[in-house]
Structure 1
Amino acid sequence: MALDSIVDLLGGKWKLDRSENFDNFLKEMGLNVVFRKMAGAAKPCIEVKVEDGVVKIISKVSFFNKVMTIRLDEEYKETFDGLEMNCHSRWENGKLITEAIPAGEGKGKPQTFIRERVNDELVQTMTVGDVICTRVFKPCD
């Protein structure tokens, strides 16, 4: 049931339209200025789909491609910017919520990602520490 709702609300291809507080988010994650500038200038396209009972979010930019495989309601590992994270995702009130905690002690900070459909846009709200970043995607033509 949840997977069908994810496809209905978030499924498809999306292109980044605008970001708010993205550089501060990356800085709070501990990423260097060169990476932050490259990431800030990029306009990624993402595709959200469901395959074999898992949610896949495929991100593509000129210098980086990533496939995130999300297993709802169970623990799984994912790598964010070279850092292994223990993740847990759930579908709640029309939102795909992922909580990520660093797998190793002293490495990285816990992060939360919330993806939801707001009108005709996919809104991704990311939190690390006290920093909140919003990225808004529009459907690809």
Structure 2
Amino acid sequence: MALDEIKAQICGKWKLDRSENFDDFLKELGLNVVFRKMAESAKPVVEFTIEDNTIKMISKVSFFNQVINIKLDGEYQQSFEGTEMNCNSKWENNKLITEANPIDGKGKTQKFQRERVNDELVQTMWVGDVVCVRTFKPTD
């Protein structure tokens, strides 16, 4: 079952180790320079758990906490940076893939892929032509 695989692969706590192209990703989303600078300097800890057949992702930084509830194989709504999105997530080839489309048409379509590569959690994010890779290591 997909949830068992997800539990074995990505559940637990992860701390950001490095990012590639994160500022350009946030800029493409239209976020202001102050928010982008704060986000760029943050080292979030992300925790994945599974509750009631839902994957819960809690992202914590000093100035911001976000909880995302991911449901597999069906549409659900979630807010990203203040934009309400219709999301669809699937577990495919040991990757948790989420596509998010703005409900009101004012935001931009985003895609997220999370996978375990050796002892790291690699999160690849796409918006427009911009690709961002954020790599997390397990917390102690």
When the two structures are superposed, what TM-score results if normalisation uses the length of structure 1? Answer: 0.98
When the two structures are superposed, what TM-score results if normalisation uses the length of structure 2? Answer: 0.99
Which runs of 5 or more residues in structure 2 are unaligned?
none
Q: Deviations over 1:84-129 (max 9, x none)?
A: 0000000000000000000002x11000000000000000000000
d(CA) in 2 for partners of 1:28, 1:140: 30
Residue matched to 2:127: 128
Q: Deviations over 1:3-31 (max 9, x none)?
A: 00001000100000000000000000000
Offset, 1:36 = 0.2
- How many residues matched? 140
2:5 aligned counterpart, secondary structure: helix
d(CA) in 2 for partners of 1:67, 1:82: 13
Identical-pair percentage: 69
d(CA) in 2 for partners of 1:66, 1:32: 19
Q: Deviations over 1:29-60 (max 9, x none)?
A: 00000000000000000001111110000000
Which runs of 5 or more residues in structure 1 are unaligned?
none
1:36 aligned counterpart, secondary structure: helix
RMSD: 0.4
Residue matched to 2:138: 139
d(CA) in 2 for partners of 1:30, 1:139: 31
d(CA) in 2 for partners of 1:58, 1:51: 12
Q: How does 1:9-24 map to 2 (within 5 A)?
A: 9-24=9-24
Q: Which runs of 4+ in 1 moved over 6 A?
A: none
d(CA) in 2 for partners of 1:75, 1:140: 31
2:30 aligned counterpart, secondary structure: coil
2:39 aligned counterpart, secondary structure: helix
d(CA) in 1 for partners of 2:41, 2:32: 14
Offset, 1:131 = 0.1
In the alignment, structure 1 residue 115 sits paired with structure 2 residue 114: yes
